[in-house]
Chain A
Amino acid sequence: MSLLGHYSYWITVFLMTAGLYIVIARGNLVKKLIGLSIFQTSVYLLYVAPGKVIGGTAPIISPHYAVYSNPLPHVLILTAIVVGVATLALGLALAVRIREMYGSIEEDEILAADRDAEGRA
């Protein structure tokens, strides 16, 4: 029960590690950003899933309802999503600028280009 009952946590942990792995293992800047987004998305799930109470309603004071879900996690994650979008947009903008200056978005090629430039200087 508890293993299956916690399935949302398993998904969270899977997304978290998968995202972090992509960031570390991939040299392509855009793929890194995709990994970073997956990693951030896992946190959205971590917050939102426990906020759902089965059978619960929005916290409206009424004699008809007894079980309420806390809406705060959703509001927090709305903010976190905005932050995530801003980070992704900035990261992609930087990737575009890097591509303009280096002609590549592969990390090893960029570092090699920098080493060449330093060697010539």
Chain B
Amino acid sequence: MTLAQLPVLEVVVPLIAAPLTLILRRASVAWAITMAACAFSFVAAVLLAAEVARVGPLSYHIGSWAPPWGIEYRVDALSAFVLVLVSGIGTAVAPFAWRSVAAELRSDQIYLFYTMYCLCFAGLLGMTITGDAFNLFVFMEIASLSSYVLIALGRDRRALLASFQYLILGTIGATFFVIGVGLLFLKTGTLNLADMAVRLEGLTNERSVLAALAFITVGMSLKLALFPLHLWLPNAYTYAPSAVTALLAATATKVSVYVLLRFYFGVFGLHLVTQVLPMPEILMGLSILAIVTASLVALWQTDLKRLFAYSSVAQIGYITLGVSMASLDGLTASIVHLFNHGITKGALFLLLGIVALHAGNTQFASARGLARSMPITALGITLAGLSLIGVPGTAGFVSKWYLVLAALEAGRWWLAALVVATSLIAVAYVWRFVEAAYLSPPTAQTPAAGDTPMSMLVPAWLLVAACIWFGFDTSFTVEGARRAATLLLGAGP
């Protein structure tokens, strides 16, 4: 009975938690509600994933209105996989936020932080679970508007401008998306994604359908920060509060990739995306540019948060590179990397939050000699950095391995070589941290050894452990991603 209601509770519980935190006002109560809502969603997501693996896709009809008229929540291999990632990261960041936010925000703003945190979390989960195009847009705006507020809460005044720029670009992206959905709605008369796919089958050469594909591609590329539409990302990640950076870096761009995947393969279909319009070529070109340029730019940064923000742009390039191959292996690599990069970046930004707690900033100067005063944190950043590079035995290796396999399978050996070569740039920027932390003497800016609260250390290390765990045990990630990729390629006409 309750299991049947889980798809809607997954989203509704954090959505209701948001106004509750606002009404009750006390920071500690707000935190407890947020924590409970996140944990509930995580457990629900795991149960849903297990159920989907057992019986296949679940369909939930909101208010018992049958699709295509009513709004459908659809949990299948792909959305269940992304739900587990998003709710898992949200649940890991929530305990971390308790001390981190108390240190970084004014005390009268803390309960508002949790309101926005719940809204953003609910919005991201809603985007993932919904099977209705317009409902997706509304959830996207819930997640986006709350993330603008979360970013603007940063201590530095530059956070305000970063948030404003993200608001402008994010709104343009969402509006492009809704224009695309509008064109599809005019053409098909339905908003249900599965129904849309069926009705689009005969319409592959219609100009308005192609325009819709173009609008949705550009809109979602803005949201997922595909090069050269990534300009909002580095500032937003750098100046946002630590907990916000960890949440957004690990989930927001990933959910946008998910939406793009859903529309490409679940609605437009393989033929339209790969044959009628040269989407794979365009995506591949931009992905390669993203990987190379953003990795190189990351090398020259003087702030660790900004360095890893640029590294995120490069890693998103790897994800879209997998999408651009539009093969089973390519999509598997892309979906595995979506997950692995999510946990890796989540771990890195949480650990940087610990550095920020003690040093007050994340400048390279503060990281010098860090291994002596904060050995556990420095070790964690190094391990997560190894996963970012893709060293064997870490999660990052698994996804890059499949990416190389997919490139070789497509006969593009140069692409495989490029993936390996650009990983070397990642070696260089992670080494810059290792060199500063382990081989340099401490400076005046290096934080003294202090007590790191367990509420911050444990979630960060859980994610680091996950980076290692999923490097050895790929049964959940690779199997799940392969099922999702099979579903996507099978769903198209």
Of A36, A83, A101, the residue contacting B168 (CB under 8 A) is A36
Of B152, B171, B189, the residue contacting A97 (CB under 8 A) is B152
B158 at the interface (CB under 8 A from A): yes
Stretch of B7-15, B178-186, B275-283, B465-473 at the chain-chain interface: B178-186
CA distance A50 to B179 in the complex (A): 13
Known: A79-B134, A94-B163, A114-B158. A43 touches B171 (CB 8 A): no
Residue of B nearest to A75 (CB): B134
Contact between B145 and A94, CB atoms less than 8 A apart: no
Q: For residue B144, give the distance in angstroms from its CB to the closest CB of chain A.
A: 9
0 or 1 for each of A42-71: is its CB under 8 Å from B? (1 = yes): 010011001000000000000000000010
CA distance A72 to B185 in the complex (A): 10
Q: For residue B10, give the distance in angstroms from its CB to the closest CB of chain A.
A: 21
Contact between B175 and A46, CB atoms less than 8 A apart: no
Q: For residue A114, give the distance in angstroms from its CB to the closest CB of chain B.
A: 6
Residue of B nearest to A91 (CB): B167
Residues of the A chain whose Cβ atoms lie less than 8 Å from the Cβ of B163? 94
Contact between A40 and B175, CB atoms less than 8 A apart: yes
Residues of the A chain whose Cβ atoms lie less than 8 Å from the Cβ of B178? 43, 80
- Count residues on chain B whose CB falls below 8 Å from chain A CBs: 26
A87 at the interface (CB under 8 A from B): yes
Contact between B168 and A86, CB atoms less than 8 A apart: no
Q: For residue B135, give the distance in angstroms from its CB to the closest CB of chain A.
A: 9
A110 at the interface (CB under 8 A from B): yes
Q: For residue B364, give the distance in angstroms from its CB to the closest CB of chain A.
A: 14
Of A90, A97, A102, A114, the residue contacting B145 (CB under 8 A) is A90
CA distance A32 to B164 in the complex (A): 10
Residues of the B chain whose Cβ atoms lie less than 8 Å from the Cβ of A87? 141, 145, 167, 171
Known: A46-B179, A79-B138, A101-B157. A94 touches B164 (CB 8 A): yes
Residues of the B chain whose Cβ atoms lie less than 8 Å from the Cβ of A111? 161
Residues of the A chain whose Cβ atoms lie less than 8 Å from the Cβ of B149? 90
Residues of the B chain whose Cβ atoms lie less than 8 Å from the Cβ of A97? 152, 160
Residues of the A chain whose Cβ atoms lie less than 8 Å from the Cβ of B161? 98, 110-111, 114
B60 at the interface (CB under 8 A from A): no
Residue of B nearest to A83 (CB): B141
Near A by CB (< 8 A), chain B positions 175-198 give 175, 178-179, 182, 185-186, 189, 191
Residues of the B chain whose Cβ atoms lie less than 8 Å from the Cβ of A80? 137, 178
B43 at the interface (CB under 8 A from A): no
Residue of B nearest to A23 (CB): B168
* A interface, size bucket: 20 to 34
Residue of B nearest to A51 (CB): B186
Residues of the B chain whose Cβ atoms lie less than 8 Å from the Cβ of A50? 186
Residue of B nearest to A73 (CB): B185
Residue of B nearest to A32 (CB): B168
CA distance A49 to B139 in the complex (A): 25
Of A43, A70, A98, the residue contacting B175 (CB under 8 A) is A43
CA distance A17 to B331 in the complex (A): 35
Contact between B172 and A36, CB atoms less than 8 A apart: yes
Contact between B157 and A76, CB atoms less than 8 A apart: no
Residues of the A chain whose Cβ atoms lie less than 8 Å from the Cβ of B429? none
Central interface residue in B134, B171, B178, B186, by most chain A CB within 10 Å: B171
CA distance A47 to B189 in the complex (A): 12
Residues of the B chain whose Cβ atoms lie less than 8 Å from the Cβ of A36? 168, 171-172
A20 at the interface (CB under 8 A from B): yes
CA distance A20 to B222 in the complex (A): 15
Contact between B171 and A76, CB atoms less than 8 A apart: no
Q: For residue B300, give the distance in angstroms from its CB to the closest CB of chain A.
A: 15
CA distance A40 to B172 in the complex (A): 8
CA distance A40 to B182 in the complex (A): 13
Near B by CB (< 8 A), chain A positions 75-105 give 76, 79-80, 83, 86-87, 90-91, 94-95, 97-98, 101-102
Residues of the B chain whose Cβ atoms lie less than 8 Å from the Cβ of A73? 185
Central interface residue in A47, A83, A86, by most chain B CB within 10 Å: A83
Residue of B nearest to A39 (CB): B175
Near A by CB (< 8 A), chain B positions 122-178 give 134, 137-138, 141, 145, 148-149, 152, 157-158, 160-161, 163-164, 167-168, 171-172, 175, 178
The 8 closest A-B pairs by CB, nearest first: A101-B157, A83-B141, A94-B164, A98-B160, A46-B182, A47-B182, A97-B160, A87-B171
Q: Can you name 21 A-B pairs with beta carbons within 8 Å?
A: A23-B168, A29-B164, A32-B168, A36-B171, A36-B172, A46-B182, A47-B185, A72-B191, A73-B185, A76-B134, A76-B191, A79-B134, A80-B178, A86-B141, A86-B145, A91-B164, A95-B164, A98-B161, A101-B160, A110-B161, A114-B161
Binding site for B on A (CB under 8 A): 16, 20, 23, 29, 32, 36, 39-40, 43, 46-47, 50, 70, 72-73, 76, 79-80, 83, 86-87, 90-91, 94-95, 97-98, 101-102, 110-111, 114
